Amino acid sequence: MEKIVIVRNLVKIYEGKVDTVALKGINLELDKGYVYAIYGQSGSGKTTLLNILGGLDKPTQGKIIVGNQDITHLDSKNLAIFRNTKVGFIFQFHYLISEFTIFENIIMPAAIRGGKYSYSQVKNRVVELAKILDIEEILGKYPDYVSGGQRQRAAICRALINEPDIVLADEPTGNLDSENTKIVVDLFFKINKVKGTTFVIVTHNENIANQCYQKIELRDGEIVKIVNNY
Amino acid sequence: MFRFLEFFIAYRFLQYKLYRSLLIVLAIAIGIGVQTFVGIILDSTQANLIKRTLGYSPHLTIKPFADDKINDRIKRPEEIVKKIIDDPNIFNKITFVAEGVIVLSDFDRKKEITGRLIGFQDLQGKDIFGLRENLIAGNYSLRNNGAVIGYEIAQKLDLNVGDYFIIRARANKFMGGKVVGIFKSGNQQLDNYVVADINRVQDILGYSRSEFSSIFFQINNVFDSDKIKNKLLVNYRWPYELSEWKESNQQLLRGLAAQSRSGFFVQFFILISIAVSIFSIISMKIVEKYKDIGVLKSLGMQNFEIIKIFVNISFLLGLTGVLLGLVLGLGMINLFLSLTKTEEGLPLFDIVVRFEYLLLTIVFNVLTIMMAGYLSARKVINIEPAKIIIGG
């Protein structure tokens, strides 16, 4: 099985008046094409792990390989390219930019790098994703004028626009009601099934975690349990 | 796919909540307006001071040495000047002058005073002493024995336009004349002159048509007179004395230099205070966009691309603010002129607006504002996206 993520002895320490050890030596391997859950209570290090896998933060120690690329010591330029081309990140809060329409927010990753697609190809892809995520009618609207669920679905579209190898979702349903939570989680599995995209979902929701291929439980910065659900 | 993405993002950032952007533009405009107003006023007072003190006198003079009996007059001055008049950027007025001390009396010889008789041959047709501008009576027609006299002479001999007078020069040469005009320059020395046709002056002084007492020059930049003098002395070997205004006007020079320097420092500190204010305003704009910077970084935008966004924001705000500020400053000048007039309803002094000053104001301030955007953005771009998004 091809590995999409390989982590060796990952340590993250936040320096301050009192140093905080967020991750205490994580070792992890994830296969390509599955949906994973990183599960744990607040403060367990889930978000820190996800941020490092996504190149949003740097490790203090250890080695991280994502999509066959060692990102441990990448400079800022190459990390930016990595974030744009290999990873799709979905935050708990949508973080859409208010000054741009839903459509413009979604194509932003493609616009940043240009990439291998032309504008019309990207536009077609937006329409395709918008259909799957049921946000076609809001593409021309601004984020402040659509619902929370629609914003989060738009953020998911944005994360998928460059066809990343892996999507990292940090509590993607944390701010959603149960109906929208179900919609979003179902969509992840649908896209995984249709496109083969790997998903890593950080959640403290046990129901979501139990639906995933593998549930990786973190506590106090360490992996305490890995459960294969199927 | 998007060639000007950073500019597009910058434009959108400004367009959203437009009133905030307009407030920033207004703040910049007010600062630039004040800077422009003060700069133009300082420039104009300096220019007026120079004009009043040096505008109607020669900056460089070529004349015979006092003890030279052989070259006691300048012969064929056109030979001297033909080599040096090619540069209009240096010399803007050149006048051949014939002058001498005279005794002047009214026609009835009731009163007699000493004065100076002078005649000009302006090469460019420009009046070096501004006598035409300073006429307070009559006209400047010097034909048919006409003469224009200074105010002091008119007062002392009680002469008016139309009156006749008699001039006695050395070797008892006499000349009669009719007052056609009276000038008042405000310069006591000049106001003791009698101006007559150059040929008549040459006759009464015993000069031939190609002989003159001196050559007067006015230059574009009065403060370059010493440099120009030194250059002429090196390049030409004239048998005459070359002098420049600074040699005999040290106090005036010190006064002008002090005015110029203090004006410079006033403008410099205004510039600094405006730059600091603008820096804070632009920094606040960047703090507003902190989270968006983190999001853009997380989507793969590189540091230099993010800097470009904020330099573009600064450029748009800066250019709009500076242009508006210039209009505001010029408006303030107009208001100043309308509120400060002499008893005759004339402006207190002439306003000098130099195109180079306006261009420099635009370029310098826009660059300063763009630098503010660059420096403010630099502080944040090296922070990890996760820290910006979560901590911002």
**Mean pLDDT of all residues in B316-334:** 94
According to the per-residue pLDDT averaged within each range, which of B75-79, B124-128, B326-330 is highest?
B326-330
- Please identify which residue in the block is written with the tokens 């910049």: B28
Q: Are strands B174-183 and B135-138 parallel, antiparallel or unpaired?
A: antiparallel
pLDDT of B130 above 90: no
Q: Which of B335, B318, B301, B331 is nearest to B370 (CA)?
A: B318
Q: Which of B250, B230, B256, B254 is nearest to B60 (CA)?
A: B230
| Confidence (pLDDT) at A137 | 95
d(CA B386, CA B392): 9
Task: Give residue B126's pLDDT band: very low, low, confident or very high (50, 70, 90).
Answer: low
Interface of A with B in 136-165 (CB under 8 A): 158
According to the per-residue pLDDT averaged within each range, which of B121-130, B281-290, B338-347, B359-368 is highest?
B359-368
pLDDT of B350 above 60: yes
Provide the percentage of residues in chain B whose pLDDT is more than 70. Answer: 97
Which runs of consecutive H residues, i.e. helices, occur in A68-220?
A: 76-85, 102-113, 119-132, 148-160, 178-195, 206-211
A46 at the B interface (CB within 8 A)? Answer: no
**Mean pLDDT of all residues in B51-70:** 84
Subunit contact A109:B300, Cβ cutoff 8 A: yes
Cβ neighbours, 10 Å, residue A67: 18
With H, G, I as helix, E, B as strand and everything else as coil, classify residue A58: coil
As for the ipTM of the complex, it is 0.91
Lowest mean pLDDT among A47-61, B82-96, B215-229: B82-96
pLDDT of B1 above 60: no
pLDDT of B391 above 70: no
Q: Domains of chain A (ranges plus CATH)?
A: 3-228 (3.40.50.300)
Query: Which value, to the nearest 10 degrees, does the dihedral of the CA atoms of residues B375, B381, B383, B385 take?
Result: 150
**Mean pLDDT of all residues in B134-156:** 89
Half-sphere exposure of B46 (CA within 13 A, CB side): 21
Chain A neighbors of B305, CB-CB under 8 A:
112
**Mean pLDDT of all residues in B92-112:** 83
How far does the CA of residue A84 sit from the closest CA of chain B (Å)? 4
B305 at the A interface (CB within 8 A)? Answer: yes
- Write down the domain spans for chain B: 5-53+254-391, 65-239
Chain A neighbors of B386, CB-CB under 8 A:
51, 56-57
Low-confidence residues in chain A, pLDDT < 70: 114-116
Subunit contact A84:B299, Cβ cutoff 8 A: yes
The token pair that represents A86 in the structure block: 């290999």
If you count DSSP H runs as helices and E runs as strands, how many of each does chain B have, helices first? 11, 12
**Mean pLDDT of all residues in B28-37:** 92
The token pair that represents B259 in the structure block: 């005015």
pLDDT of B273 above 60: yes
Residues 6+ apart with CB under 8 A from A216: A28, A36, A37, A38, A39, A223, A225, A226
Interface of B with A in 285-304 (CB under 8 A): 291-292, 294-303
Cβ atoms of residues B105 and B137 within 8 Å = no
A43 at the B interface (CB within 8 A)? Answer: no
Q: Which of A47, A56, A114 lies nearest to residue B298, judging by beta carbons?
A: A56
Interface of B with A in 2-41 (CB under 8 A): 2, 5, 9, 12-13, 15-16
Cβ neighbours, 10 Å, residue B228: 20
pLDDT of B392 above 80: no
With H, G, I as helix, E, B as strand and everything else as coil, classify residue B137: strand
Instruction: Give the residue from chain B lying closest to A109, CA to CA.
Output: B299
Q: What is the mean pLDDT of chain B?
A: 86
